Amino acid sequence: MHIHILGICGTFMAGIAAIAKAAGHRVTGSDRNVYPPMSTQLEALGIGIVQGYEAAQLEPRPDVVVVGNVMSRGVPVVEALLDSGIPYQSGPEWLARTVLADRWVLAVAGTHGKTTTSCMLAWILEHAGLAPGFLIGGVPGNFDTSARLGAAPFFVIEADEYDTAFFDKRAKFVHYRPRTLVMNNLEFDHADIYPDLAAIQRQFHLLVRMVPGSGRIVAHAADPNLDATLAMGCWTPCERFARGAGAQWSARALGGDDFARFEVLEQGVAVATVEWTQFGVHNVDNALAAIAAARHAGVPVPVAAAALREFKGIRRRMELRGEIAGVRVFDDFAHHPTAIATTIDGLRRRAGRARIVAVLEPRSNTMKMGVHRDTLAASLAGADEVWLYAPPDLGWDVAGAMAPLGARAHCSPTVDALAGQLLARLRHGDQLLIMSNGGFGGLHDKVLAGLAARG
**Tell me, what DSSP letter sits at residue 188?**
-
Q: Which residues contact 200 (CB under 8 A, 6 or more apart)?
A: 161, 186, 188, 189, 190, 194
C-beta of residue 332 within 8 angstroms of C-beta of residue 435: yes
Give the residue with greater pLDDT, 193 vs 14: 14
Q: Which residues contact 21 (CB under 8 A, 6 or more apart)?
A: 27, 45, 46, 47
- The CATH code of the domain at 99-309 is 3.40.1190.10
| Domain spans in the chain, listed from the N-terminal domain onward | 2-90, 99-309, 319-454
- Count CB neighbours of 253 within 10 A: 16
C-beta of residue 357 within 8 angstroms of C-beta of residue 347: no
Reported as a single tens digit per residue, the pLDDT across 152-197 is 999 999 999 989 999 999 999 999 999 999 999 998 887 778 889 9
Reported as a single tens digit per residue, the pLDDT across 113-159 is 899 999 999 999 999 999 999 999 887 889 988 899 999 999 999 99
Separation of alpha carbons 31 and 384, rounded Å:
40
Q: What crossing angle do the helices spanning 301-309 and 114-127 adopt, rounded to 10°? A: 110
Amino acid letter at 59? Answer: E
Separation of alpha carbons 72 and 77, rounded Å:
10
Separation of alpha carbons 330 and 280, rounded Å:
14
pTM of the model: 0.84
Reported as a single tens digit per residue, the pLDDT across 71-109 is 999 999 999 999 999 999 999 999 999 999 999 999 999
2-90 folds as Rossmann fold (3.40.50)
- Secondary structure element (H or E) that encloses residue 290, with its range: helix 281-296
Q: Is 58 helix (H, G, I), strand (E, B) or coil?
A: helix
Separation of alpha carbons 294 and 289, rounded Å:
9
Percent of the chain with pLDDT over 90: 65
SS3 string of 309-323? HCCCCECCCCEEEEE
CATH (one of 3.30.2010.10, 1.10.3300.10, 3.90.190.20, 3.40.50.2000) for 319-454 = 3.90.190.20
Q: Which residues contact 159 (CB under 8 A, 6 or more apart)?
A: 107, 108, 109, 114, 172, 173, 176, 178, 181, 207
